[in-house]
Amino acid sequence: MGSVVKCVFLAAVCSVCQSLQGGMLFPIDSPTREVKDVSGLWRFRADLSPERNRGFQQEWFKRPLAETGPVIDMPVPSSYNDITQDSKIRDFIGWVWYEKEVWVPNRWIQDQGTRIMLRVGSAHYYSVLWVNGVKMTEHEGGHLPFEADVGGVLRQSTGSTCRITIAVNNTLTLETLPPGTIQYMNDRTRYPSGYFIQNINFDFFNYAGIHRSVLLYTTPKVHIDDITVETTFSDNIGLVSYDVSVLGSSKPAVKVTLSAKDGRCVASANGSRGALKVTDVNLWWPYLMHENPGYLYSMEVQATSEDGQTDVYTLPVGIRTVQVTSTQFLINNKPFYFHGVNKHEDADIRGKGFDWPLIVKDFNLMKWMGANSFRTSHYPYAEEILQMADRHGIVVIDECPGVGIRDIRSFGNASLAHHLIVMEELVRRDKNHASVVMWSVANEPASEMPPAGLYFKELVSHTKSLDSSRPVTYITNSNYARDLGAPYVDVICVNSYFSWYHDPGHTEVIGLQLTTQFDNWYGKYQKPIIQSEYGADAVPGLHSDPPMMFTEEYQKTVLQNYHDVFDQKRKEFVIGELIWNFADFMTAQTIARWSGIRKESSLGSGSPKPERFSCGSDTGGSPMRQVCCPPGPGIPASERINCFLCTLENRKSSGNGVPYTSYTMTITQILLLIYDHICSNAVIV
């Protein structure tokens, strides 16, 4: 690109790229704040009109939704796709309408000093929010929260009811993240009039709806709007630099207190910016790297206005450092090896809907198998998941929804401007999580295309300007010599599926090809490398010897071959391996995918699996993993196999397990293989 064109390009981007206003602290209860969760059953209607805009034409937000047409029950949080028996809803593209009437406590309304906020944790993809018929805000993009101050409207309304209407549109275009295209099928001999489809370039189901909780919460008018912490340490002294922004007061007095787990105050300071010194610091360590991983201090921030109004917010803070050298990823100056998984937010029925049991189960599974990390492939996960990761010492590569940027038109100004804003929203939301050690700005973009160089240069440098404390990467599957964005990243993250998408059937070439892949990338960039995806599909119960594609044996052989190379290359510059995938997940319907993707490495989410794994009579019904399969290395394989066989037998004899028998066996094999691999490499420093 010529320099004149380059300048015009950048000027255009900058003119549309406005920095975000304000913070987006996770809503909490505190002495000065209250949270009311208004999730649950909402009224719902998909706008099935040909143009999908009847709701706007008829102003469905102005009256109760039931007065403008039929409504059905829809749970929130949940994707709507799999809730009904109607394939039109499962595959719906366009606007859907949600509505709920809730009561707002009188005291919230009466106290003019109370700010009443309405926050949506995430709705996919474009949302418009009304309260009592008045438009409050719009938001572009799923996976990240948005909110509005609704106090004014509520105080003008009669009574304390609050009718919340949210219209959500899942249409993806060349400029959305992820991108997609709408294709009208105009051949009237093959498609009816108005027929269109949504094309996507990513490999997971485009679940839609209100995916995370909807919360009403209060703060005082004088309130803590944002907090930013950065941490470091030297010897046994920890340092927490903080920056607090307070709104509603021109000269607020800010007091910050840091407490240890036992409640002891270990440091305090006054002022909206400053640093807290912690002697005998307890550092935040990853799981399996320390006997006390995930140590969190509690930072209480108190802001008081000139007239005595106070707000209090408490933030968990892990003190740790992150650094990248040419061969290593250092956490607290010690080499960290990402022994982890890629995940999805995905479950039967609820789709991408937030679900505590699933989340807790997934963490238990990850820890049980010895995983110390995961990547939020391919979009930001719920904040509660990052809070869990903080507490358990599970390291996170935090990825934005930049997946499937494959069309050259998605490298244009409007796309980049939106991508920069999404990174701003992501960093604003997740910057204070100790578990988050690196930002990923994209997954498998067409980074060999000419505009990709400038695009990623801007994107990475903008992300670094938002947060200089963390490395930035994106996940590539491009050729090392032609990837135009790689010069700008701190860590090279490569996806490859040798003997699967390349040389299918030839596991014997994995060793050579993977070694060459690593040597090529390292030779060109001298940056540490993470194998950010690898794996192979298997059809449960399909066997062959010698192994053939789609059999359980083939999947195992692929993993084994990859692991052999990792074990060599981690002695040089390979700093991690993230298997594809922690659990099965749903994809679009295509001949290449049998009921979603089957590259699972564990017993995690996906289908409603958890209830299949209690050990019945042997354990009195306790979850069998706690009883039969304690975590950590050194458990003989035979014992672990017994756990699974026990499950299998139990399910068979109860008559419930038969359909899952082979499936369980698949998982058993893969899990044991990964478990053995991970445990044999676990490092305790």
H-run or E-run covering 391: helix 383-392
Contact assessment for residue 356 and residue 77, using Cβ atoms and an 8 Å cutoff: no
Residues 589-621 as b/e (b if ≥16 CB within 10 A, e otherwise) read eeeebeebbbbbbbbbbbbebbebbbbbebbee
What is the spatial distance between Cα 150 and Cα 131, in angstroms, rounded to a whole number?
7
Give the nearer residue to ligand GCB in terms of CB position, either 413 or 531. 531
Range list of β-strands (E), 121-160: 123-124, 126-131, 134-140, 146-149
**What minimum distance in Å lies between the beta carbon of 587 and ligand GCB?**
7
Tell me the C-alpha distance between 629 and 22, whole Å. Answer: 47
What is the size of the binding site for ligand GCB (CB under 6 A)? Answer: 10
- Residues 136-155 touching ligand GCB, rule: CB under 6 A, are none
Residue nearest to ligand GCB (CB): 203
Kindly give, in sequence order, each residue whose CB lies less than 8 Å from that of residue 12, ignoring residues fewer than 6 positions away.
Answer: 413
Of 399, 444, 552, 600, which is the active-site residue? Answer: 444
In whole angstroms, how close is the CB of 342 to ligand GCB at the nearest point? 8
**Using CB under 6 A, which of 117, 389, 530, 597 touches ligand GCB?**
597
Binding test (CB under 6 A) with ligand GCB, winner from 533, 577, 584, 600: 533
Q: Does residue 344 interact with ligand GCB by CB under 6 A?
A: no
Cβ at position 531, least distance to ligand GCB in Å? 12
Kindly identify the residues of this chain, within the stretch 383-442, that bind ligand GCB according to CB under 6 A: none
Question: Judged by CB under 6 A, which of 390, 444, 483, 577 binds ligand GCB?
Answer: 444
Where in 489-508 is the site for ligand GCB (CB under 6 A)?
Answer: 495
| Rg, C-alpha atoms of the chain | 26
Q: Look at strands 472-476 and 492-495 and give their pairing.
A: parallel
Smallest gap from residue 443 Cβ to ligand GCB (A): 5
Query: Residue 638 is which amino acid?
Result: S
CB-count exposure of residue 247 (10 Å: 0-12, 13-18, 19+) = middle
Interface residue with ligand GCB among 82, 203, 311, 345 (CB under 6 A) is: 203
Nearer to ligand GCB, 467 or 552 (CB): 552
Best CA proximity match to 202, nearest among 344, 442, 404, 501: 404
Biggest CA–CA distance in the chain, Å, is: 79
Applying the rule CB under 6 A, the residues between 454 and 493 that interact with ligand GCB are 477
Active site residue 458: no
Candidates 33, 599, 612, 677: give the one binding ligand GCB (CB under 6 A). 599
Backbone angles phi, psi at 128, to 5 degrees: -125, 135
Peptide bond into 125 cis (omega under 30): yes
Task: Give least dist CB 430 to ligand GCB, A.
Answer: 21
Q: How far is the CB of 131 from ligand GCB (least distance, A)?
A: 37
Neighbour order of strands in the sheet with 209-210: 78-79, 209-210, 123-124
The pair of structure tokens assigned to 460 is: 């990475």
Give me the least distance between CB of 532 and ligand GCB, in Å please: 8
Which CB, 425 or 444, lies closer to ligand GCB? 444
> Which one of residues 443, 447, 463, 668 is an interface residue with ligand GCB (CB under 6 A)?
443
| Closest among 84, 63, 61 to 74, alpha carbons compared | 84
Distance CA 387, CA 392 (A): 9
Our CB check for ligand GCB shows the closer of 329 and 500 to be 500
* Residue 399, CA distances (Å) to 125, 220, 339 in order: 17, 33, 17
**Residue 378 C-beta: closest distance to ligand GCB, Å:** 6
Spatial neighbors of 226 by CB under 8 A, at least 6 apart, are: 22, 23, 24, 25, 244, 245, 428
Quote the tokens at residue 600: 């699972």
488 or 585: CB nearest ligand GCB: 585
Beta carbon of residue 558, minimum distance to ligand GCB (angstroms, whole number): 12
Which C-beta is closer to ligand GCB: that of 376 or that of 443? 443
What mask of x and - would describe binding to ligand GCB in positions 245 to 284, judged by CB under 6 A?
----------------------------------------
User: Which of 588/679 has CB closer to ligand GCB?
Assistant: 588
In the complex with ligand GCB, the residue whose CB is nearer, 424 or 533, is 533
Closer CB to ligand GCB, 157 or 496, in the complex = 496
Give the Cβ contact number of residue 274 at 10 Å.
15
Residue that has been written with the tokens 């509690």 in this structure: 298
Residue 451: name the closest of 426, 401, 497, 414 by CA. 414
Q: Which residues bind ligand GCB (CB under 6 A)?
A: 203, 378, 443-444, 477, 495, 533, 580, 597, 599
Task: Report the catalytic residues.
Answer: 444
